[in-house]
Structure 1
Amino acid sequence: MTQPWCKELNTFIHENNSTINSICSNRSIPCKDGRMNCHEGEVRITECRNIGKTMPPCSYKATASTRNVTIACDENHKGALVPVHFDR
């Protein structure tokens, strides 16, 4: 929203913090970078795809769905696993 062009895709996750945090309790899987601190879970999302304009005002088509996501989790200062990065 701060650039002078229209972004091709915007993804919005519709989950509360506890739902996203709970993904960190799922089994560890490899991240794209090879580290083993990623976890997979399902979330509700809305994808907004650009429908042709390259300059603002931008126009998007929204599609709601659920999607499997992979997030990286690390220990916080209390030793709990918390999300730190959206991997894919």
Structure 2
Amino acid sequence: MELITGITLLAAYALLAVKLWALIDAVTRPSEAYEAAGKLTKPAWLLILGLALVAHLIDMQPVGLLNVVGTVAAFVYLLDVRPALARLRR
């Protein structure tokens, strides 16, 4: 039982780190880049990622509904939006 608890705790902290990384990255990107890349606006992404982080801090269960939705949002940002914004910097 302790192994499962440890794995769950590790997953919770790993997903928290992913959400924090996505939010910090979103804050550092210029607002104009989001529109130029054809993505949601910067305030929209900050709201989505901020709510995902807050939901995770309130309920640390990695398989809770809000955490799953927030995790998907963070990965969409990191795997789709972030590369599109990075391409515009070149």
Common topology (TM > 0.5): no
TM range (shorter): under 0.3
So what's the TM-score if we normalise by structure 2? 0.23
Which of the pair is proportionally richer in strand? 1
So what's the TM-score if we normalise by structure 1? 0.23
Larger-gyration structure (1/2): 1
